[in-house]
């Protein structure tokens, strides 16, 4: 995705996604709500809560990885992908004080974030939204869509990422699970 895509996740009484559960992984959770609406644009407050982010160019992916991802990653909105997860994440000041090469080394060379994620494609469709420089409470909004038969694989991926060195820099993480 090279053209920025501004997006607002609106939790409330509307939207095509039913919120199954909202759980805190680290730090404060988010208030309960019945449904989630994914809208284009950076919109103002409404409903129970809103989270805003912009999908854009990748920050760490190298050419060979980008090509591998391009060959295999599925689009969002597949009919069979009736499960989703919205996992907003904030990293610590220590993470943001690292230089680019140090962040890359932790994220990929030592935590294998990109390589491990590739193994779960095309089952699990993903999109990353940047939020930090919008003044949002989270740095990233991670979004995943998958079919019910891949629910177990998704849990495996999430547990794997949370066990990495990269995740020692995560200071707030909320796990919002959704069904269509």
Q: Is 127 in the site for a second copy (CB under 8 A)?
A: no
| One of 66, 76, 115, 148 touching a second copy (CB under 8 A) | 66
Of 25, 29, 38, 58, which one interacts with a second copy (CB under 8 A)? 58
Nearest CB to a second copy, comparing residues 27 and 31 = 27
Nearest approach in angstroms of CB 40 to a second copy is: 12
State how far the Cα of 51 lies from the Cα of 49, in Å rounded to an integer: 7
| Element containing residue 153 per DSSP (H, E) | helix 151-162
Please say whether the beta carbons of 63 and 146 come within 8 A.
Answer: no
Site string for a second copy, 129-168 (x = CB under 8 A): -x-xxxx---------------------------------
Question: Regarding beta strands 5-12 and 17-26, do their DSSP bridges make them parallel or antiparallel, or are they unpaired?
Answer: unpaired
Count Cβ atoms within 10 A of the Cβ of residue 124 and give its class: 0-12 exposed, 13-18 middle, 19 or more buried.
Answer: buried
102, 109, 149, 155: which one contacts a second copy (CB under 8 A)?
102
Measured from the CB atom, the residue of 129 and 146 that comes closer to a second copy is 129
Q: CB-based burial of residue 128 (10 Å sphere; 0-12 exposed, 13-18 middle, 19+ buried)?
A: middle
* Residues 128, 120: Cα–Cα separation, whole Å: 16
Least gap, CB of 131 to a second copy (angstroms): 9
* Contact region with a second copy (CB under 8 A), list: 25-33, 73-81, 115-123, 127-135: 127-135
Handedness of CA 59, 60, 65, 68 (dihedral sign): negative
> Does the footprint of a second copy cover residue 180 (CB under 8 A)?
no
- Beta bridge pairs of residue 128: 142
Told to check if 43 binds a second copy by CB under 8 A, we report no
Per CB under 8 A, residues contacting a second copy are 2-4, 6, 42, 54, 56-63, 65-66, 93, 96-102, 104, 130, 132-135
């Amino acid at each position: 995705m090279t053209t920025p895509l501004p997006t607002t996740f609106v939790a409330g009484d509307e939207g095509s996604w039913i919120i199954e559960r909202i759980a805190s992984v680290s730090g404060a959770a988010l208030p309960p709500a019945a449904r989630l609406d994914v809208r284009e644009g950076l919109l103002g407050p409404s409903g129970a809560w809103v989270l805003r982010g912009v999908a854009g160019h990748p920050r760490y992916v190298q050419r060979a990885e980008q090509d591998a991802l391009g060959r295999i990653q599925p689009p969002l909105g597949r009919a069979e992908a009736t499960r989703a997860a919205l996992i907003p994440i904030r990293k610590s000041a220590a993470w943001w004080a690292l230089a680019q090469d140090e962040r890359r080394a932790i994220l990929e060379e030592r935590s294998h974030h990109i390589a491990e994620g590739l193994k779960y494609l095309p089952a699990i469709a993903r999109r990353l939204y940047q939020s930090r420089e919008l003044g949002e409470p989270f740095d990233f909004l991670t979004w995943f869509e998958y079919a019910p038969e891949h629910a177990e694989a998704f849990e495996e991926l999430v547990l794997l990422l949370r066990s990495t060195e990269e995740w020692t820099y995560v200071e707030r993480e909320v796990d919002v699970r959704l069904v269509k």
